A and B are shown apart, each in its own frame.
Chain A
Amino acid sequence: GESVGLHLPTLSVQEGDNSIINCAYSNSASDYFIWYKQESGKGPQFIIDIRSNMDKRQGQRVTVLLNKTVKHLSLQIAATQPGDSAVYFCAEKEYGGSQGNLIFGKGTKLSVKP
């Protein structure tokens, strides 16, 4: 498959464990944040989003936490599965603005060991 990034931070977890992927965002004016998953040979796929008026949002097996004080975002994946292996990106933008001009983080590669 195609490599989406070299020298990415890598998180290796055992199948069934919980995963936590972290992201520091850059723009204080950003108030909308998104996590994407990118598998080899594919484009980024939306996982979950959160607005700045929230500090936590839950989806199916995923939770996003937002700490505006330190400009930090995290993605928690419960009961990690081999199919979760991918590169994960956080993205930021100003809410209400267009969906273009997303600012992406560098990405974290998640590797799940069976």
Chain B
Amino acid sequence: KAGVTQTPRYLIKTRGQQVTLSCSPISGHRSVSWYQQTPGQGLQFLFEYFSETQRNKGNFPGRFSGRQFSNSRSEMNVSTLELGDSALYLCASSSSDESSQAFFGQGTRLTVV
């Protein structure tokens, strides 16, 4: 069974631009969560999608948004990029079982210059 796939692996963008990151969950998993990882703040929850609906949202500004498609693939978008958005963005998928664990992808390393 293929794991969680995130694309692209690396990305360099300029301040003010926008970026879209993609996540393909494990087959059969309907929940996709996004996390931001930085050296200073560690791993922070961005949002979670389940069956195309945002189920939970972390404490991030509105520049961060996401969506989920009918095949459970998810995208997150960051608009008007700031230098502080440079981070590793991780996607995790899980099944709908309450005891299911979250499986993480390898992440997308975003650098804003």
Contact = CB atoms under 8 A, between A and B. Distances in A.
Interface of A: 2-7, 34, 36, 41-46, 49, 89, 91, 95-107
A46 B101 contact: yes
A98 B101 contact: no
A44 B55 contact: no
Interface of B: 4, 31, 33, 35, 37, 39-40, 42-45, 47-48, 50, 55-56, 58, 88, 90, 92, 94, 98, 100-107, 109
Given A41-B106, A46-B103, A49-B101, A101 B39 contact: no
A51 to B, nearest CB: 9
A44 B107 CA distance: 10
15 contacts: A2-B88, A4-B39, A46-B101, A97-B98, A98-B31, A98-B50, A98-B94, A99-B100, A99-B102, A100-B55, A100-B56, A100-B92, A102-B102, A105-B42, A106-B42
Given A43-B104, A100-B102, 18 more contacts: A2-B109, A4-B88, A6-B39, A34-B101, A43-B107, A44-B43, A46-B102, A89-B43, A98-B94, A99-B31, A100-B47, A101-B45, A102-B33, A102-B35, A102-B102, A103-B45, A104-B44, A106-B42
A99 B33 contact: yes
